[in-house]
Amino acid sequence: MKPQTSLPNKGNPFYNTTSNGGYSWCIQGKPVVSGLNVLDNCVGWACGRFNEIYAEETGYKGMKYPNLHCDAEYFIERAKKIGLSYQQEPTIGGIMVWEGIDSNGVRRAGHVASVEQINGDGSVLTSESGYNHFDFRNYTRIKGNGNWGLNSNFKYLGCIINPANPKPTPTPSDYPFNGIVKKGSYLYNENGSKYPSPAKVNRNVEVLGEQGNRYKVYGNTFTPHIVYVDKGNVIKEGKYPFKAVLKKGSYLYNANGYKYPSPAKCDRNVEVLGELNGRYKIYGTTFKPNVVYCNKNDIKR
| Inter-residue contact 115 to 95 (CB < 8 Å) | yes
Into which CATH architecture does domain 177-236 fall? Roll (2.30)
Q: Where are the domains of the chain?
A: 13-160, 177-236, 242-300
pLDDT at 152: 81
- β-pairing, 214-218 vs 203-211, is antiparallel
pLDDT at 210: 83
| Fold: same for 177-236 and 242-300 | yes
pLDDT at 212: 75
CA–CA gap between residue 98 and residue 95 (Å, rounded): 10
pLDDT at 237: 65
pLDDT at 37: 98
Asked if CATH classification 3.40.50.2000 holds for the domain at 13-160, the reply, yes or no, is: no
CA nearest neighbour of 114 among 125, 100, 122, 130: 125
| Inter-residue contact 151 to 144 (CB < 8 Å) | no
> HSE (CB half, 13 Å, CA atoms) of 29?
30
Q: The sheet that has 203-211: what strands, in order across it?
A: 187-188, 226-230, 214-218, 203-211, 177-181, 234-236
Positions of the chain with pLDDT lower than 50, given as ranges: 171
CA angle 28, 94, 12 (to 5 degrees): 40
Q: In whole angstroms, how far apart are CA 122 and each of 91, 114, 119, 154, 281?
A: 11, 16, 5, 21, 11
CA–CA gap between residue 249 and residue 266 (Å, rounded): 7
Asked if CATH classification 2.60.40 holds for the domain at 242-300, the reply, yes or no, is: no
- What does the DSSP 8-state code read for residue 267? -
| Inter-residue contact 208 to 216 (CB < 8 Å) | yes
At residue 121, φ and ψ (nearest 5 deg) are -90, 5
Beta strands in the chain (DSSP E): 86-87, 95-101, 107-118, 124-130, 134-141, 154-160, 177-181, 187-188, 203-211, 214-218, 226-230, 234-236, 242-246, 252-253, 268-276, 279-283, 291-295, 299-300
CA–CA gap between residue 145 and residue 242 (Å, rounded): 35
Q: What is the pLDDT of residues 69-82, one digit of tens each?
A: 999 999 999 999 99
